[in-house]
Amino acid sequence: IYARVCIFYGFIHYVQALCYYGLGHINIELRAFWVSYGCVFVIAMLMALLLRFDIVPANPDKKQYLPRCEYLGPLAVLPAAIGMSLDFKVEFSLVSIAFCWCLIFVAYIMQLVYALRLLEIVLPDEAFVGAAERLGASYLPAGWRKVPSAFNHVWYFVAPPSKLQPGQHDLLREIKSGGKGAFDEVAGDTKKPVACAEAEIIEPVFSTEGRTEPWRIVASLAAVLPVCWVWLIFGCIVDAAIGEQALLTAPHWS
């Protein structure tokens, strides 16, 4: 399930990057004011639809600290577009510069909350049970439930049954344990049938090695984005206080 989450996260970040790339390219290269809004907002709508279709909260008992804040990602494009329009306006205005800085901080804060929301929904639900066991359908056995409930609808893995139905045999475990089972049924010796207990069939995933759990890897990757946005907000505060080019100069050989 976390491979599916990684594909989804990579795709929505790519789509959002197209929004900001479109703002820069259309405003700087093409100098097309209205086109920058029209093109970027279509891509932002695509991103919102992807978020709506893939993030489906399924655990009503889970406390949501940032509910619905995943939509701040596509909405952050709006203050960014307005701020870029003010930054490239023809006439100089201190009021426009101050308003532009405000829009920059609004966009950055929206991106920070959006990144925190993506981290929140990717964390597994310890108490999430999901759908009950049905023949041929996916379900979450005990010990396999470290999955994010918001992505439970993309859980396509068919787990092994928790108990054997009449006439079914687990040949692998019969060989390992040396017990009776399928052979005795075929041979006619059914005096001492061996029933596999639930604990013998279902084992917790990554029970022998906890450091390779997928949710730890994906959550670590998702946690990098909020840290980056905090760093960028700090950099904007410094730039607003001392100037955008106060810490840089032209190359000394130029």
If you average pLDDT over each of 68-72, 137-141, 215-219, which comes out highest? 68-72
Residue type for position 207: S
User: What are the CA-CA distances from residue 69 to residues 65, 98, 207 (Å)?
Assistant: 9, 27, 34
Number of other CB atoms surrounding residue 127 within 10 Å = 9
pLDDT tops 60 at residue 189: no
What is the value of pTM for the model shown? Answer: 0.78
Amino acid letter, residue 53: F
- Mean pLDDT value of segment 29-35: 89
Contact 12, 73 (CB under 8 A): yes
84-94 tens-digit pLDDT: 999 988 888 99
pLDDT band at 161 (very low <50, low <70, confident <90, very high): low
Tell me: pLDDT of 29 over 50: yes
Do residues 9 and 150 make contact, with C-beta atoms less than 8 angstroms apart? no
State the number of CA atoms in the 13 A half-sphere of 60 facing the CB. Answer: 0
* Lowest-confidence region among 71-75, 154-158, 162-166, 190-194: 190-194
Q: How confident is the model at residue 205 (pLDDT cuts 50, 70, 90)?
A: low
What pLDDT score was predicted for residue 69? 95
Confidence of residue 146 (pLDDT cuts 50, 70, 90): confident
Residues 6+ positions from 178 with CB-CB distance below 8 Å: none
- Enter the tokens of residue 19: 């929004």
Q: Predicted confidence band at 245 (pLDDT cuts at 50, 70, 90)?
A: confident
- CA distance to 89, 106, 107, 123, 243, per residue, from 95 (Å): 12, 17, 18, 43, 16
Burial class (CB in 10 A: 0-12, 13-18, 19+), 115: buried
Average of per-residue pLDDT values in the chain: 82
Most confident of 89-93, 114-118, 152-156, 170-174: 114-118
Distance CA 114, CA 131 (A): 29
Using a pLDDT cut of 90, give the percent of the chain over it. 46
